[in-house]
Structure 1
């Protein structure tokens, strides 16, 4: 049993890392949501068509960013679930004295694939955020001295 516990330590640390990633994703989603609510309030009270178009454009960009975060969050949770299954299968294999090596390896590989996809979705959200900045949606009224 001591060997199984030693083997299970690495996946448990991985779950901790995924939990930290979920915290980052939650914070990013909260900021996107707060910004979208502020823009919606401005959109409701403004009658300037040009200004409303720019707000609508930024809201669409925020929606795309929120979708990326949602995807990353979903993949991260699924990954953590599979890593938890790996730990459970390690103990079951030891207790029942059955070979679950293929199932354990399969779960772990799928968990890693999901984690890779989650990081790609997060990277996509970061690209969208920086693209919004380059397009002038953010910092539009700041003189950059150019």
Structure 2
């Protein structure tokens, strides 16, 4: 990508659906390498930055932590390496996601039970308030 076709930070942000401040933060924490600067001291991003930021965004959308994204990027940079560690990270993350889903389903069930017990009478007789109270009366 020539200097004339280099992306500004605003272009890069818009192309990936990322806020400009988030792009800067990814640079500060080392996920996105700092680009060269123009003579006017503006950042000049290239296609590599665009691909890398797209990778970071997609990984974050899937719920990977910043530390996991860093590890995935390190693994992605080793093009001839085995993808076994990538598979391991993805499987571990899937286990975490499935546990969160299970926890949320349990929470939804408990909320349905509480709401189902509500007679919509007075707050003094409210079964939801009772269920939320650590003691039988407030």
Shorter-normalised TM-score: what interval? 0.3 to 0.5
> Which structure has the higher relative contact order (CA within 8 Å, separation 6+)?
1
TM-score (norm 1): 0.39
